[in-house]
């Protein structure tokens, strides 16, 4: 990956090297400190000439301002600072990173209008910088088209009132950002490089942070009777893996919370093959597993006081002489039989066994699974909300609230016996597809048949995990969706 910027915090000073970024409120005008960096007082005229008004998302650039040794003095619109919420500060950090444009050294002056940026706000700016700076360029062997060989690493100094407190707040956010970037890396990586074996090895690296990692092999899953998961994997040359990660930061007697991820490293559709156009996107069909892995990273790196289990089912859905056929009937670990009417509805087959195993072994306080499960959720919600399905109102409401505060939003979808009926099968206990209607819901009903009474939520992240529109804090195809959302859920309700 492109190198991560380094970030530190310091008291405001008049040091004048590299690039200085000043935040300018929409109605307040230039910050009081502006004159420190603009001894000749040219800034007011310059921003007037640029018609710069401080609107968020806008900036004005002054090159090598006279009387200073700065390379650039950037004035960045902060909008209405009083209206800046948590994700507002994060986005502002993203804007800072964009305005810095690969400069070697950047000082960000956090004195906006009359708003006193807290240490937490300063830390959020820093997190926004990290998230925006991510760029999946490891396979680019040539310089960019402009022959740009400018330094890859930027050192940011955030000038704020209480650098010690900001540094402390940032330590936690940096842990979370690390989880988001790990999830993005996993999703962006092509399937020839990241198969089930390689993904499992990546998860194993979390041991460095104190996470316990077990890897169940195909033979182990065979013994457990995971016929649903293994049926998907049988058309691939690459063996399935089930990875069990445990972070025990809570009290020994406390039951864990559990997260389960769909990890289809590539989804060709199997014998019910997908159309060619856009099939390359199915390298991202492990976005749920990536989010679970990123979340485990985040929780362990910030030493969350909670016991957590993360389980990911890693398979490749391919066509082959050995591949599963439409019409095949498989027996899941739960004992329930499934008629596979469409081999492209494979994610639910993987999750059926992963969820059952998780519930059976850990009796968790809740289970939340994440999966790029259906195209239908994209039709329903587009790319700005994940579909939320749950058997528990409290859990659903908590997830909704975490979505609102982090900006990783969820929208609850209905479930019920009328939908459940749609997956009854003539020949087995259930079939793996419903009809044409309510495709995201029938997929959720299918999963629910493997969770018993445990509080459970399913997040369909097909629209939010990949092919993501660029925004203030992500320029990446893979968004890392879910890590910040679930870290927040855990922090707000299940720690300590």
Q: Does 267 bind Zn ion (CB under 5 A)?
A: yes
CB nearest ligand BES: which residue?
375
Query: Would you state the torsion angle of the CA atoms of residues 241, 285, 446, 461, taken in this order, to the nearest 10 degrees?
Result: 130
Q: Would you mind telling me the total number of residues written for the chain in this entry? A: 496
Hey, what are 238's tokens?
């690459």
Beta-sheet strand order (sheet of 19-24): 6-10, 155-159, 105-109, 19-24, 72-77, 59-63
Window of 123-131, 232-240, 259-267, 460-468 that interacts with Mn ion by CB under 5 A? 259-267
Distance (Å, rounded) from C-alpha 372 to C-alpha 264? 9
Residue 291 binding result from Mn ion, ligand BES, Zn ion, none, given CB thresholds of 5 to 8 Å by partner type: none
What is the distance of C-alpha 292 from the center of its chain?
Answer: 9
Window of 104-112, 341-349, 407-415, 448-456 that interacts with ligand BES by CB under 6 A? 341-349
Residue span 258-277 as binding mask against ligand BES, x where in contact by CB under 6 A, dash where not: ---------x----------
Residue 56 near residue 112, CB atoms below 8 Å: no
Specify the residue, 265 or 333, whose C-beta has the smaller distance to Zn ion. Answer: 265
Beta-strand (E) ranges in 207-342? Answer: 212-216, 241-248, 257-267, 307-317, 328-331, 337-340
Specify the residue, 181 or 466, whose C-beta has the smaller distance to Zn ion. Answer: 466
Of residues 80, 202, 274, 412, which has the active-site annotation? 274
Report the nearest approach of Mn ion to the CB of residue 242 (Å).
19
Q: Does 353 bind Zn ion (CB under 5 A)?
A: no
Q: Does 285 bind Zn ion (CB under 5 A)?
A: yes
Distance (Å, rounded) from C-alpha 450 to C-alpha 356? 5
Report the nearest approach of ligand BES to the CB of residue 278 (Å).
8
Residue 369 near residue 259, CB atoms below 8 Å: yes
Q: Which residues have C-beta within 8 Å of that of residue 468, sequence separation ≥ 6?
A: 383, 474, 476, 477, 478, 479, 481
Distance (Å, rounded) from C-alpha 239 to C-alpha 164? 49
Specify the residue, 56 or 374, whose C-beta has the smaller distance to Zn ion. Answer: 374
Residue 433 binding result from Mn ion, ligand BES, Zn ion, none, given CB thresholds of 5 to 8 Å by partner type: ligand BES
Q: Does 372 bind ligand BES (CB under 6 A)?
A: yes
Window of 154-162, 198-206, 372-380, 384-392 that interacts with ligand BES by CB under 6 A? 372-380
Residue pointed to by tokens 């998961």: 229
Report the nearest approach of ligand BES to the CB of residue 50 (Å).
41
Specify the residue, 113 or 346, whose C-beta has the smaller distance to ligand BES. Answer: 346
Q: Does 347 bind Zn ion (CB under 5 A)?
A: yes
Q: Does 328 bind ligand BES (CB under 6 A)?
A: no
Active site residue 274: yes
Specify the residue, 374 or 390, whose C-beta has the smaller distance to Zn ion. Answer: 374
Q: Does 344 bind Mn ion (CB under 5 A)?
A: yes
Q: Does 185 bind Zn ion (CB under 5 A)?
A: no
Q: Does 433 bind ligand BES (CB under 6 A)?
A: yes
Window of 22-30, 149-157, 367-375, 385-393 that interacts with ligand BES by CB under 6 A? 367-375
Residue 316 binding result from ligand BES, Mn ion, Zn ion, none, given CB thresholds of 5 to 8 Å by partner type: none
In angstroms, the Cα distances linking 407 to 77, 132, 173, 244, 397 are: 21, 15, 15, 28, 15
DSSP for 52-96 reads ----TT-EEEEES-TTS--SEEEEEE---GGG--HHHHHHHHHHH
Q: Does 376 bind ligand BES (CB under 6 A)?
A: yes
Distance (Å, rounded) from C-alpha 359 to C-alpha 367? 8
Residue 79 region by backbone torsions, left for phi larger than 0, else alpha for psi between -120 and 50, else beta:
left
Residue 81 binding result from ligand BES, Zn ion, Mn ion, none, given CB thresholds of 5 to 8 Å by partner type: none
Window of 21-29, 50-58, 152-160, 342-350 that interacts with ligand BES by CB under 6 A? 342-350
Which residue(s) pair with 457 in the sheet? 368, 390
Q: Does 326 bind ligand BES (CB under 6 A)?
A: no
Query: Would you state the torsion angle of the CA atoms of residues 273, 275, 278, 280, taken in this order, to the nearest 10 degrees?
Result: 30
Residue span 346-375 as binding mask against Mn ion, x where in contact by CB under 5 A, dash where not: x-----------------------------
Distance (Å, rounded) from C-alpha 328 to C-alpha 317? 15
Of residues 348, 484, 488, 491, which has the active-site annotation? 348
CB nearest Zn ion: which residue?
267
Strand pairing category for 257-267 and 367-371: parallel
Residues that bind Zn ion (CB under 5 A): 264, 267, 285, 347
Residues that bind ligand BES (CB under 6 A): 267, 285, 342, 344-347, 372-376, 433, 439, 462
Which residues form the catalytic set? 274, 348
């Amino acid at each position: 990956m492109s190198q991560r910027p380094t970030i530190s915090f310091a008291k405001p000073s008049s040091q004048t090297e590299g690039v200085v970024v000043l935040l300018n409120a929409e109605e307040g005008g230039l910050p009081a400190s502006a004159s420190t960096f603009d001894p000749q007082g040219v800034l007011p005229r310059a921003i007037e000439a640029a018609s710069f008004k401080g609107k968020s998302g806008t900036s004005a650039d002054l090159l090598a301002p006279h009387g200073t040794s700065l390379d650039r003095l950037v004035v960045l619109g902060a909008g209405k600072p009083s209206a800046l919420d948590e994700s507002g500060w994060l986005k502002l950090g993203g804007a800072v990173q964009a305005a810095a444009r690969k400069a070697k050294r950047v000082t960000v002056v956090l004195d906006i209008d009359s708003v006193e940026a807290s240490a937490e706000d300063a830390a959020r700016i820093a997190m926004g910088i990290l998230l925006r700076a991510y760029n999946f360029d490891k396979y680019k062997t040539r310089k960019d088209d402009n022959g740009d060989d400018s330094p890859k690493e930027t050192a940011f100094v955030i000038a704020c009132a209480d650098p010690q407190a900001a540094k402390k707040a940032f330590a936690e956010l940096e842990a979370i950002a690390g989880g988001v970037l790990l999830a993005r890396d996993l999703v962006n990586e092509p399937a020839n490089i990241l198969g089930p074996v390689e993904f499992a090895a990546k998860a194993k690296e979390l041991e460095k942070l104190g996470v316990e990692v077990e890897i169940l092999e195909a033979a182990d899953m065979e013994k457990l009777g995971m016929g649903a998961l293994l049926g998907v994997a049988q058309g691939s040359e690459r063996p399935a893996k089930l990875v069990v990660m445990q972070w025990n930061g809570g009290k020994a007697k406390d039951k864990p919370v559990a997260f389960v991820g769909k990890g289809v490293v590539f989804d060709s559709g199997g014998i019910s093959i997908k159309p060619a156009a856009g099939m390359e996107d199915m390298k991202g069909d492990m976005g749920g597993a990536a989010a679970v892995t990123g979340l485990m990273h985040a929780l362990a790196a910030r030493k969350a006081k909670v016991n957590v289990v993360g389980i990911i089912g890693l398979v490749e859905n391919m066509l082959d002489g050995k591949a599963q056929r439409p019409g095949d009937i498989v027996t899941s670990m739960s004992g329930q039989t499934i008629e596979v009417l469409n081999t492209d509805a494979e994610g639910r087959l993987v999750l059926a066994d992963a969820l059952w195993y998780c519930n059976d072994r850990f009796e968790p306080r809740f289970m939340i699974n994440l999966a790029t499960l259906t195209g239908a959720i994209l039709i329903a919600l587009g790319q700005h909300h994940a579909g939320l399905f749950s058997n528990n109102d409290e859990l659903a409401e908590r997830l909704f609230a975490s979505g609102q505060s982090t900006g990783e939003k969820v929208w609850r979808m209905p479930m019920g016996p009328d939908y459940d009926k749609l997956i009854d099968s003539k020949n087995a206990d259930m079939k793996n597809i419903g009809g044409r209607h309510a495709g995201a819901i029938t997929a959720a009903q299918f999963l629910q048949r493997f969770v018993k009474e445990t509080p459970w939520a399913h997040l369909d992240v097909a629209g939010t995990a990949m092919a993501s529109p660029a925004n203030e804090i992500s320029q990446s195809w893979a968004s890392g969706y879910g890590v910040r959302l679930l870290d927040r859920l855990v922090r707000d309700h299940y720690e300590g």
